[in-house]
A and B are shown apart, each in its own frame.
Chain A
Amino acid sequence: MATAKTGEIALRPVNELDIEAVCAIDEKLSGQDRPGEWERRISYYLRRDPELSLVAVEGKKVVGFMLGEVKAGEFGLEEPAGWIEVLGVDPQCQGRSVGKKLLEGMLAGFKARGAKAVRTLVNETGQKELFGFFEAGGFKSTPIRTLERKV
């Protein structure tokens, strides 16, 4: 298992034993303990492409995660594209470029899998910080709009 010296941040693929650490980061960020949610999400990515989704570690401690996959044919967009579904960084490690490192690692993985573009969905008004993070990472708004209505 990849480890990093104290103070150094390393990346490695997420595994099933990271579920608890990811729950802990999410709980710090959202205030909710959601084990079932992370069991479901992480096992989904482990099933689909276990080498792509990443965690950032300091020593053996997981301090961030980014989950995503390559899809083709989504929304009628035929070319394979990387999709970043979720990102979380331990608040104690924010400001140390953990998110940036995770993004770089994921971009390399997407590229190796033949993705021509990488997409994600962010709420521009409700998630300003996240929006800024992706903008700084070179992401631009596209004309594709999410449409929604109540049912």
Chain B
Amino acid sequence: MENVRSSTLPKKYHDAVVRWGQTFLPDYPLLLDNWEKFFPHDKRHELCAYRQMGMCDEIECGTMKGKPKFHKANEMTPELADHLLKAVKAQASTELGSIQQHQLTLARAPEEVDQFWVLRMMAEELRHGYQMFHVLLEDDWAAVSDTKGEDMVEEILQMRTGSHVLGAFNVDFDSFVDNIVFCALIDRVGKYQLAMQKVSAYKPMAESMPPMLQEEAFHLATGVVPIRRWVQSAAKEEGYVGMDHLQKVINKWFPRGLDMFGDERGGGSNVKMGLKPMNNAEAAKQYTEEVQQLVSDLNLRYLRARFPKLSRDEAQERLKRIVEKGDAVEGVGPDNLLRLPHHSFFRRRGIHAYQMIDIDGKKVETLDGFKSHLKSVLPEAYATARDMTKFFELMGKVVHGEVKADDAVHILPNLSRVGGVCPCSRAVRWVVDEPQKSNGH
């Protein structure tokens, strides 16, 4: 990376992230030991923050467009700082949250290469979390916010699957298919968020984005490449994952990905304040187009592997016929291929949140009907997972009029979040002033 400045956090925070990594990314030493084997000649992973130098100095969108960017927190209005801090916190939470999720099923990778790619990606997510901590800790937020950077860091380090800011990071992984589909679908949302924040009116945030985006490109490949291989194996009826299961895992993650863009009616104030160039709906639309392209490419790969005598053009024609007309040709119909669920299916944020809408976008009348629909289109292990139990509890309240859908949106995650540390909790205080104690008490 050219023209990039690297730095580390003050020691006690650096050590806190290292300790966190030892707990939630225990295979990090294994990654470093095998780096040359899987990533020969690539620059070795380092736990540090990178800032891209020489970026645009003027605010790039919104009402202050053309004015100088903010270099310090105290130059911003409290409202702007509040929006920014929320985004930084959400970003940091996603980075660390995904590591906790990936770790659950990492050992179940059927192929070593895929496992090490995911492991490298996890290490890079740790660096991304570190990067966001750097944004929080390098500045003094006292003039614009009641929240201290240090407290935010501690709070984020305390989060677990179930208490993260965004829903996608509160869902447990059930198999290695989750690791891979998550990279292809959820890291893709991450790419959008980072790309948008590259214009941030707060310069340290903008400068943090390009190095993260560079790594994100690899994360997307870590997802897409194994899925391409799996689809081709499925076509030959060999391999690890069938199309049916892959579809169910896509159904699990795509709605969470869309939720990550936020309410379709929102995002305008971020644009006005110069923090992002696109509102939520525009970004979600582009994201959907990308995922649709991925699905089409995968279907084409499936047909070509299943019918090797077809030329590319013939396979394209056949794909069109199957998808658009619903025809089955030589035993392959729409149900044998992949598809995107309707954008209103199984949503928890935005205008379709907590509506009972099936995968085709049609309304389901009863809660039981919706439950059995979800059971049939989601992976079996997920249908009985704690995330689904919580979802149905809340969904039931919405259906029975006890909670409004608009309010339900703000209820999950119903936090087991630990702010500070309660003397009776088992939580470790990650940031400690002295050399490590056995635990926080």
Contact = CB atoms under 8 A, between A and B. Distances in A.
User: Do A and B actually bind?
Assistant: yes
Contacts of B297: 17, 19-20
B293 A17 contact: yes
A24 B2 contact: no
B217 A50 contact: yes
A48 B221 CA distance: 12
Contacts of B2: 112-114
A135 interface: no
Nearest to B1: A49
A43 B218 CA distance: 7
A35 B214 contact: no
B300 interface: yes
Interface residues of B, number: 23
Contact of A42 (B39, B221, B286, B300): B221
A51 B1 CA distance: 10
B232 A46 contact: no
Contact of A27 (B42, B224, B290, B312): B312
Contacts of B342: none
Given A24-B312, A114-B2, A47 B220 contact: no
Contacts of A47: 39, 42, 218, 221
Contact of A39 (B39, B228, B293): B228
Interface in B204-231: 214, 217-218, 220-221, 223-225, 228-229
Interface residues of A, number: 24
Contacts of B221: 16, 42-43, 46-47
B164 interface: no
Interface string A19-47: 11000100100000101100100110011
A50 B218 contact: yes
B225 A16 contact: yes
Interface string B77-109: 000000000000000000000000000000000
A1 interface: yes
Contacts of B214: 49-51
B312 A17 contact: no
Contacts of A35: 228, 232, 301
Nearest to B184: A16
B123 interface: no
Contact of A48 (B42, B224, B225): B42
Contacts of A17: 224, 290, 293-294, 297
Contacts of A1: 286, 290
Contacts of B294: 17
A46 B217 contact: yes
Interface in A42-85: 42-43, 46-51
Interface centre among A15, A20, A24, A51 (most CB of B within 10 A): A20
Given A19-B224, A27-B312, A46 B300 contact: no
Contacts of B375: none
Contacts of A114: 2
B304 interface: yes
A27 B311 CA distance: 10
Contacts of A19: 224-225, 228, 297
Contacts of A36: 229
B277 to A, nearest CB: 14
A20 B300 contact: yes
Contacts of A50: 214, 217-218
B235 to A, nearest CB: 12
Interface string B231-243: 0100000000000
Interface of B: 2, 39, 42, 214, 217-218, 220-221, 223-225, 228-229, 232, 286, 290, 293-294, 297, 300-301, 304, 312
22 contacts: A1-B286, A13-B217, A15-B217, A16-B220, A16-B224, A16-B225, A17-B224, A17-B293, A17-B294, A17-B297, A19-B228, A19-B297, A24-B312, A33-B304, A35-B228, A36-B229, A39-B225, A42-B221, A47-B221, A50-B217, A51-B214, A112-B2
Interface of A: 1, 13, 15-17, 19-20, 24, 27, 33, 35-36, 39, 42-43, 46-51, 112-114
Given A20-B297, A20-B301, 4 more contacts: A19-B297, A20-B300, A24-B312, A114-B2
